[in-house]
Amino acid sequence: MILRIDRWLTELPPPSDPDPEGARIVQELMGGKFGEMSTFLNYTFQSFNFRDRQKARPFFDLISNIAAEEFGHIELVAATINSMLTDDASIADSVDPANSPLLGMAGLAANPHHFVNGGKGALPQDSRGLPWTGDNVFSSGDLLSDLTHNYFLETGARSGKLRVYEAVDHPAARALTGYLLVRGGVHQVAYARAVENLTGADLTKLFPGPRVPSMSIKESVPYIERGDHRRLYRFSPDDYRELAAVFNGDHPETGEPLEVVDEDPTLRPLPVDLPSQNDVFAPGYSTEEITEIVDQLRKKAGFPDEPIGDVTPVPRPKRGRSRSTASMAGTRGATKKAAKGATSTKRGASMPTKAALKPPAAAQSKASTKQAGPKVTTKGTPANAKAQASATKAAATKKAKAGAAATKRTTAANPGSKPAPKAAPKATTKAKPAKSATAKRSRKT
């Protein structure tokens, strides 16, 4: 079984300008043959089907543990797609379908399912919009075949990530691929070491993977600098300990020692709270009504006024800056074709990716402390709340020690640390004038 922790494996930038065309391409990393659903379910089925596991414990532990990490990768790809589909102009509390807020869709090289079926959400599809299929799973029952296949799968997956990085300049997509390139590299090494420990054959010499220049990808560099390229994290409270018997030795490229790390998963970043998108009626035709009903339900259940779960709040929309999907079809699409270089420079400048990548220690601890304070303690699990608060504190201390870089990243990440958007109705009312202005603009284009 899997225990779920409501955290992200790494920080992603909050929603910025929407990029539905890029989101379609990022879908390849979700539901493509070499996407995260494939890695996740290949290793999952191989672990389910593993025979005589007690006699081959370290290999079983390795495959099972990497499967668990891949679930977290799927979550990150979904978060990226959702972020790229989020449009400030659609956070109004009501929309008039007669204004055709999705009119621009027809002209976009986007996936219509993101809007028509999916409510601006990630789907289990590839970049062509074809559904992921179980045919992508190779689980032969032969340990050596499976391990060799997995090395090949990770190699193809890294290749795909690099191409998506090259094809999409949205800051969320860049942050995602920068992170996944590093983790995919670790998994390549893990399966190569597994085969080598079993047979003596070094796959990295037999089939050298694509020369993905991780250090030349600026979004990957922070992860390499902190050692993520040579670490496997253990994703279980107490199991899969024997993977260290296989994941050992030196990194084939850098010569540094490989290591297995146990960490407190609650130190990972909080998920970003996605705002409503009312042109696609997400989360509902009447978001305010849902909020009212939930308030009553929570009250009846005896919960405190503030929700118990934690999220990273999203910065509120800035008036006049955002464009609706419809207007974007005419403007951003054209801009992209006309001045691609300029667009990517602007994006890069508006989102300091290195900073956005790393957990904003201060911001996060502030949010957690605020929310884990009196109200969480009232929920009747003081032990958990205390543990989390102290863990967050420990993380903050640890990160503070990381030096100047930490300070820089905290400052840059602070825009995201505004109060939680708990007053959704209020905020949406404020956004209303901006929305109707945008809608009018859209009609013109």
Stretch that binds Mn ion, among 14-22, 36-44, 117-125, 391-399 (CB under 5 A): 36-44
Stretch that binds Mn ion, among 7-15, 117-125, 185-193, 240-248 (CB under 5 A): 185-193
Taking alpha carbons only, the member of 139, 111, 144 closest to residue 20 is 111
Interface with Mn ion (CB under 5 A), residue total 5
Please report how close the Cβ of residue 138 comes to Mn ion at its closest, in angstroms: 14
39 near Mn ion (CB under 5 A) = yes
Stretch that binds Mn ion, among 92-100, 116-124, 182-190, 219-227 (CB under 5 A): 182-190
Please report how close the Cβ of residue 407 comes to Mn ion at its closest, in angstroms: 31
Nearer to Mn ion, 150 or 364 (CB): 150
Please report how close the Cβ of residue 142 comes to Mn ion at its closest, in angstroms: 20
Nearer to Mn ion, 37 or 413 (CB): 37
- Phi, psi for residue 422 in degrees, rounded to 5: -70, -25
Q: How remote is the C-alpha of 117 from its chain's centroid?
A: 21
Please report how close the Cβ of residue 180 comes to Mn ion at its closest, in angstroms: 6
Site string for Mn ion, 194-233 (x = CB under 5 A): ----------------------------------------
Nearer to Mn ion, 187 or 358 (CB): 187
Site string for Mn ion, 229-248 (x = CB under 5 A): --------------------
Stretch that binds Mn ion, among 37-45, 87-95, 276-284, 422-430 (CB under 5 A): 37-45
Please report how close the Cβ of residue 177 comes to Mn ion at its closest, in angstroms: 11
Please report how close the Cβ of residue 276 comes to Mn ion at its closest, in angstroms: 30
Nearer to Mn ion, 125 or 364 (CB): 125
Nearer to Mn ion, 36 or 219 (CB): 36
Please report how close the Cβ of residue 346 comes to Mn ion at its closest, in angstroms: 30
Nearer to Mn ion, 70 or 310 (CB): 70
Binding test (CB under 5 A) with Mn ion, winner from 187, 230, 323, 354: 187
Please report, as residue ranges, which positions from 54 to 83 form the binding site for Mn ion (by CB under 5 A).
70, 73
Site string for Mn ion, 134-173 (x = CB under 5 A): ----------------------------------------
Burial string for 294-331 (b: 16+ CB within 10 Å, else e) reads eeeeeeeeeeeebeeebbbbbbebeeeebbbbbbbbbe
Stretch that binds Mn ion, among 35-43, 93-101, 125-133, 367-375 (CB under 5 A): 35-43
Nearer to Mn ion, 174 or 187 (CB): 187
Cα dist. 299→20, 210, 275, 292 in Å?
38, 56, 23, 11
Nearer to Mn ion, 21 or 70 (CB): 70
Please report how close the Cβ of residue 184 comes to Mn ion at its closest, in angstroms: 5
Stretch that binds Mn ion, among 29-37, 106-114, 217-225, 317-325 (CB under 5 A): 29-37
312 near Mn ion (CB under 5 A) = no
Burial string for 130-169 (b: 16+ CB within 10 Å, else e) reads eebeeebebbeeebeebbbbbbbbbbbbbbbbbebbeebb
Residue 248 near residue 189, CB atoms below 8 Å: no
Cα dist. 60→146, 164, 280 in Å?
11, 31, 44
Nearer to Mn ion, 177 or 322 (CB): 177
Binding-site ranges for Mn ion (CB under 5 A) = 36, 39, 70, 73, 187
